[in-house]
Chain A
Amino acid sequence: SYGLTQPSSVSLSPGQTATITCSGDAFPKQYGFWYQQKPGQAPLLVIYRDNLRPSGIPERFSGSTSGTTVTLTIRGVQAEDEADYYCQSADSSGASVVFGGGTKLTVL
């Protein structure tokens, strides 16, 4: 079945820029979406349709796409950004939603 590939973990210091990639053959035909999940909480949509931010999401969160990869970038990462991040898209037909395996962002 179709899948999205993310790195399992990313670690960096406060103030650095975090980049989390998500690869899938259906990109760029399909949009990429990103969710942040902190321990014990529900996922929160942070990027939709590749590069749009919902209201209330800080400007340091941005999204981009290139070929078969979508990327979530967090500029000037803060301790509060420590969380699991999941990408989401669909297969090339759009019939089935799929999530990436998640990336654990650690802010040292």
Chain B
Amino acid sequence: HVQLVESGGGLVKAGGSLTLSCEASGFSFSDYYMRWIRQAPGKGLEWVSYISSSNNYRDYADSVKGRFTISRDNSKNSLSLQMDSLRVEDTAVYYCARDQLYCAGTTCYHYFDQWGRGTLVTVSS
């Protein structure tokens, strides 16, 4: 039974920092890319960052580039998101998701087949 459990959300002032964690179980964590996806209150989904299975590649949405850092520890089945210089517009529920990378020939496609329940980050002014 796949489980993804996020933690670390909370209330922080603009300019502050927060670290989110995601504990994974029920699957071979080290075999999968992982991604953080967020959802502002009443809004749609926005990918934030992802990291490759072997920890050697990561990418960020332009909205968080230079402020957020994704990391993983395959020995502990855990994923993290260090968020610095937080802004009011970073307020959202942050989901940890398993990135089901599918490749056909030279083209690869990302989609998300398992999600955690999310953790709320509120950034006040």
Count of residues in B whose CB is under 8 Å from the partner chain: 18
Task: Report whether A100 and B110 are in contact in the complex, using a CB–CB cutoff of 8 Å.
Answer: no
- Measured CA separation A33–B113 after assembly (Å): 10
Interface residues on A, range: 20 to 34
* Interface residues in chain A, defined as those with a beta carbon under 8 Å from any beta carbon in chain B: 30-31, 33, 35, 41-45, 48-49, 54, 86, 88, 90, 94, 97, 99-102
At the interface, yes or no: B65 with Cβ under 8 Å from chain A? no
Known contacts A99-B47, A101-B44; decide if A44 and B111 are in contact (CB<8 Å). no
List 18 other contacts, CB 8 Å, given A48-B113, A86-B44.
Answer: A31-B109, A35-B112, A41-B117, A43-B45, A43-B95, A44-B115, A45-B111, A49-B109, A54-B113, A88-B45, A88-B112, A90-B109, A90-B110, A94-B107, A94-B109, A97-B47, A99-B44, A102-B45
